[in-house]
A and B are shown apart, each in its own frame.
Chain A
Amino acid sequence: MTTGDIDVVIVDSGGANLASLQFALERLGARSAVSSDADTVRRAPRVLLPGVGSAQDAMSRLRATGLDRVLPQLRQPVLGICLGMQLLYERSGEGDTPCLGIVPASVQRLVPARGLPVPHMGWNKVHPRCADPLLEGLVDGEYLYFVHGYAAPVTADAVAVTEHGAAFTAVVRRRNFSGTQFHPERSGSAGARILDNFLRQATCS
C-alpha cells in the first residue's frame, strides 16, 4: 500500500495493541497503515500516535527511528492516544523521560486515594472547555474510556477535562497536534465520533 491510498498512518511505537485501533478505523471506512518509517510518517495525510507501555520505552523506540525529530515538525493533523498523547508533552514523570516537547507542561503520576485507585481504569465524564473540531457533535459529560496511571495537568492547551481525584486534561490541542487521554477506539459511539472527526480534518498537503 502506498501512502497515497491511505487516510491515516498509525505510528508503531512498540505498543502491543494496534489492532483495536485499526479495527475502529476500519469500522469508520478509513484506510490505515502501520509504520515506524520516518518518511512514511512525514508524507502521511494524518498521523495517529497510539501507545501502550512506558514512556521511556516508547521514546527510545521513537528515537531509534528518528521519529522523535520528525513528529514535532509535522504540519498535518496528528492525534496522540493515551500514552501517545502524553508523549506530546515536554516530559513525563514516568522514569523522568524527556518527550516530544510539542505541548508545554509535564505529565505526572496520578495520586491514589481512598475510592480513587490508580491506575485509573473506567468510563469518565468528559467536559469540553472550548469548541474543537475533535469534539464536534459531542455533548458535555459524554462518557469515555480511560486506562492510565499518569496524566497531564489542565493547562491553556486543554480543550476538554475530566477528573480522577484531581482534574486533568482529557483532550489537548496545540495547532495541528491533538491528543486524547482516553481510548476513542474503545469508547463506544462517542469514541467513534471523535475518530471520525479526526478523519474529517483537512490535511495541509
Chain B
Amino acid sequence: MRDGQVVKGVRFRGHAIVGGILELAARYRDEGADELVFYDITASPEGRSVDRGWVRRVAAVLDIPFCVAGGITSVAAAEAVLAAGAEKISVNSPALADPALIDRLAARFGSQCVVVGIDSETTERGYRVHALTGDPDQARDSGRETLAWVREAQDRGAGEIVLNCMASDGVRRGYDLAQLAAVRAVCQVPLVASGGAGAIQHFEAVFREAGADAALAASVFHSGTIGIGELKAALARAGVEVRP
C-alpha cells in the first residue's frame, strides 16, 4: 500500500498501482482468501506509522483475519492498529532497529498477535536480512543473517514468521524452496512463505517440499492470473488440506 492505493513491484522496485484498498479487500474476501496482509511499505522509510483510517474501513468490510504492517515502532502504535480492527500486527524494519520491541509486543498482546516479517536476500555470504525495503534508495543489509534472526525473533516472542525471499519477489518463478526449508528447520512457530508465486504448482510445492504453514501471494492474484477458488480446488485435489 502507498498513498491509499494497493501497489505491487518486482523485487521491491518499480511499484505500480493495482487498485483501491477497500475494493481489493472485498474482492479477496469474496474469492475465499483465508487471510489478508497489508504492508504500508513507505511507513518505515518515511519514519511514520501506518495510517489507522483505512485499517478501520477494512475491518468494517472483512470477515476474515487480516494483518497490518508499516512503521509499528511501539506498543502504543500496535495498540492503535489492533484497536482499529486488525487481528495481528507485523513488524519488520522496526524490529531490526529495536529487537526488544518484539518482547514488548508479545508481553502486551500475546505472541499470537505478533508477526515478524523478514525480507531475506540470497548473497554469496548466505541468506541476509534486509531493512527498509519499501524504498529502493534506503533498502540495505541489516547486518543480520536470516536463520539467526528467525531464531532470535521467535525467542523474543514472535508468533509467526513471514519470510519474503527477495530474489523471488514478483518474479513468478516459484517460491525459494531451499531457503524456506532451511528456515522451516529452525522455526517452531507458523511459517508463511512469500515471494515468487507464479503458478498453481508453486503453491503445491511450497506446502509439500518446504513445509510452509501458509503461502502468501500478491502479483498472481492482483493480475487475476490465478483465481483463489481455482487455486484452492487444485490444492485440494493434490491432497493439500485447504478451506474450500
> Which residues of A are at the interface with B, using a C-beta cutoff of 8 A?
16-20, 23-24, 26-27, 52-54, 83, 112, 115, 117-119, 121-123, 143, 145, 147-149, 183, 185-189, 191-192
Contacts and interface: CB of A to CB of B under 8 A. Distances in A.
Given A186-B63, A191-B63, A118 B189 contact: yes
Interface string B46-79: 0000000000100110111100000000000011
Nearest to A18: B83
A143 B232 CA distance: 14
Interface stretch (B2-10, B107-115, B116-124, B218-226): B107-115
Contact of A121 (B56, B84, B86, B112): B112
A53 B63 contact: no
Contact of B65 (A53, A112, A145): A145
A115 B191 CA distance: 10
Contacts of B108: 53
Nearest to B114: A119
B59 A19 contact: yes
A123 B35 CA distance: 10
A101 B198 CA distance: 51
Contacts, number: 94
Contacts of B83: 16-19
A119 B113 CA distance: 10
B159 A119 contact: yes
A52 B109 contact: yes
Contacts of B85: 17, 19-20, 23
Interface size class on chain B is 35 or more
B213 interface: yes
B204 interface: no
Nearest to B110: A53
Contacts of A149: 110-112, 159
B214 interface: yes
B82 A186 contact: no
A23 B59 CA distance: 7
Contacts of A53: 108-110
B160 interface: yes
A16 B112 contact: no
18 contacts: A17-B82, A19-B83, A20-B59, A27-B63, A52-B113, A115-B211, A117-B189, A117-B190, A117-B213, A119-B159, A121-B213, A149-B110, A149-B111, A185-B63, A186-B64, A186-B65, A189-B63, A192-B63
Contacts of B62: 186
A143 B243 CA distance: 6
A141 to B, nearest CB: 10
Q: Taking each of A117, A145, A189, which has the highest tally of chain B beta carbons within 10 Å of its own beta carbon?
A: A117
